[in-house]
Structure 1
């Protein structure tokens, strides 16, 4: 081409090597688990609302959504109170986040429709909101009288916010939150709880969350949903097999009962601690709330995208999907108090309505997922139940 300076082959080679090296360096700066992915289309298809925030958008995926603009001013009020509480200058907080900007941006595989200033503003407002929310929950005496999130006349609001904070696509990386929190309250960290402690305190009222102290505070997590995943895990992890196996179906509860199997509530605090011993199936009580379906769908989607080696949540959902095949199955587990539906549907439903809704919920998981497992204990549990059922002695 006329008017251009010829480029030698060696110069072009060097540029290509540099370009590839830069791309590889970017990949090495953040792990895959730290990336924030969107929900798989096959999981979103029939249950879109389960993955959408109701009140609060956190992070870039829903930042421009009109349906969440009503709470944007409230997030800015939280930023104002956060800055007043920390006594740090706004400029200093912005500088902290700017130092993390490149690392933060690398955690998003999707293209973010924000320029640099808009991105930093979003991270600051959302990050300060999360931290201030946790602090106000932990120190209720500091709440404003007219705070709509903690309004006792609108208890559904705080439930919606808790739900929104545990959505897969509604997250900020935890290292961003933690860096902002540690900078803002560095001189007070000896007397303040850690950010993970505040987060656990905020989420503890949700379904069946009773983790042990050591695991709460010594957890390396990528974001809040990842923290919830970790807190639900048993204290002692089960052994994992060498390869993945298709989850085997087990007989229905009515058939198991006919074979002599008794259903009992387990005293364990861990939902995944299901045991079968001497003809008795021990299952921890699952207390259902209006947010339970959304949480189960998000934690399942999260596991399938990030933690394929850790199949506890998927195994648990698959096990309940096997047990709750029909309304009769659901009725049995409700009557045995293994599943508590008292706070679930938001109305005084009859046993028949509750059982039908429960059966429909878990049947939908089975239709939309193909369950695989490496968990040796869950495999043994299924095999033991099937062997007991097939024995003529029983």
Structure 2
């Protein structure tokens, strides 16, 4: 979280260090409002992860919210946003929407006395006054109309560039931590323009997220997460973590204090080492989340992850969200940490891919490099989801019998392998006998 110290605070501190300080100076200093918002949910990316891959955090086409509002390249698309706003309030496309309703929405959302402070508190640092209520309303209406066009092709114009060549770039922009607006803003605009008669907002956003990140197992129906999302990226996080949180009775989530008390946790070996130790890695077929990794009876079962262009950006922004958000479980961070342990080289990745763990559209080296560096220096795993699993795997690797079975399985799986081993053994015995006869003579 960024904290800006202006000249007022600096001057108060300088007065305190002067020798002629008086009681009034101390009272003035003690009365300073130095509180930080605990409700912040939209953050600037810290410098360390940004330096690893800045493109993963910067929008390509559309600026949503205040952080990239001043970028002239992105402002060029405001005309398209305005076009979407016009479509949203058009009587021909949506008889429920009226400009008067939207004006009322604007007045209620951004009035300082009503919700203006609530909007400001969602951002981790001060929002530039150049980005006002009108801009936020424009961004919100653009997203709502995008969701409606995504589901209903009849709403799309034939010359709409979004659905001709920009959709992939928009997928990238919508999951960036710095490119979010509060969920309650979207909810308010959605209710005023679409009413409560059709499918809820969370259904529309979830359908889009399923297209952006198929591995999220976002359901088309059923009960949504019990916790209300803070923004679109947070909804994706909830869909990933929700099944794990729901089944905490079967999963051990350990606080970092407990880990340190027990002498720390030992990472599991890479996939190639596990294979030699007798651990069998297989694809988990029945899973509600990619986070549902299990180990039982020597089988490490991992749900399939579709890794394609954009997957790295999703994980990087989710990890940063977990790191910055107050009282947020570190499920995504734990998953990326675990995969980083399993994938040390391209050979490890290829082994997992052969087991059906990865449906990969990328260069294996790129995927390997990502998981090796995704947990940036300074990242904090507050609650490691896979502590018990790691302990079980490491204990299993110490056993001799699974290792011997693995050697047999790896070396004697084909007739030619068996023949070659028998021939090698026969030649060894002949060489040994020849040596003995030579010594006896």
Instruction: Using structure 1 for the length normalisation, give the TM-score.
Output: 0.83
Structure 1 residue ranges (4+ consecutive) displaced by more than 4 angstroms after TM superposition: 212-215
What does residue range 1-394 of structure 1 map to in structure 2 within 5 Å? 32-84=38-90, 85=94, 86-89=97-100, 90-99=102-111, 100-115=115-130, 118-151=131-164, 154=165, 157-185=166-194, 188-190=195-197, 192-205=198-211, 206-212=213-219, 213-216=221-224, 218-233=226-241, 234=243, 235-237=246-248, 238-244=251-257, 245=259, 248-267=266-285, 268-306=287-325, 309-341=328-360, 344-345=361-362, 354-366=363-375, 368=377, 370=379, 372-375=381-384, 378-394=386-402
Task: Quote the Cα distance in structure 1 between the aligned partners of 2:58 and 2:51.
Answer: 12
Larger RCO, structure (CA 8 Å, separation 6 or more): 1
State the Cα deviation string for residues 184-234 of structure 1 (Å, max 9, x = none): 33xx312x2111111111111123122454442643111111111101112
Bigger Cα Rg: 2
How many residues are matched?
A: 356
Task: Quote the Cα distance in structure 1 between the aligned partners of 2:64 and 2:71.
Answer: 11
**RMSD of the TM alignment (CA)?**
2.5
Q: Does the C-alpha gap of structure 1 residues 367 and 170 become closer, same or farther in structure 2, counting only changes over 3 Å?
A: closer
SS of the residue 1:276 aligns to: strand
The answer as to whether partners of 1:97 and 1:176 remain within 8 angstroms in 2 is yes
Task: Quote the Cα distance in structure 2 between the aligned partners of 1:367 and 1:220.
Answer: 29
> Could you tell me how far 1:92 is from its partner in structure 2?
2.7
Task: Quote the Cα distance in structure 2 between the aligned partners of 1:242 and 1:328.
Answer: 32
Task: Quote the Cα distance in structure 2 between the aligned partners of 1:275 and 1:211.
Answer: 20
Task: Quote the Cα distance in structure 2 between the aligned partners of 1:374 and 1:92.
Answer: 44
> Could you tell me how far 1:242 is from its partner in structure 2?
4.7
> Could you tell me how far 1:93 is from its partner in structure 2?
3.5
Task: Quote the Cα distance in structure 2 between the aligned partners of 1:288 and 1:33.
Answer: 33
Task: Quote the Cα distance in structure 2 between the aligned partners of 1:254 and 1:379.
Answer: 21
SS of the residue 1:208 aligns to: helix
SS of the residue 1:265 aligns to: strand
Task: Quote the Cα distance in structure 2 between the aligned partners of 1:177 and 1:53.
Answer: 19
Task: Quote the Cα distance in structure 1 between the aligned partners of 2:40 and 2:105.
Answer: 23
Task: Quote the Cα distance in structure 2 between the aligned partners of 1:242 and 1:252.
Answer: 24
> Could you tell me how far 1:113 is from its partner in structure 2?
2.2
Q: Does the C-alpha gap of structure 1 residues 363 and 141 become closer, same or farther in structure 2, counting only changes over 3 Å?
A: same
Task: Quote the Cα distance in structure 1 between the aligned partners of 2:323 and 2:302.
Answer: 24
SS of the residue 1:380 aligns to: helix
The answer as to whether partners of 1:54 and 1:160 remain within 8 angstroms in 2 is yes
Task: Quote the Cα distance in structure 1 between the aligned partners of 2:303 and 2:145.
Answer: 34
The answer as to whether partners of 1:303 and 1:313 remain within 8 angstroms in 2 is yes
Task: Quote the Cα distance in structure 2 between the aligned partners of 1:219 and 1:109.
Answer: 21
The answer as to whether partners of 1:265 and 1:284 remain within 8 angstroms in 2 is yes
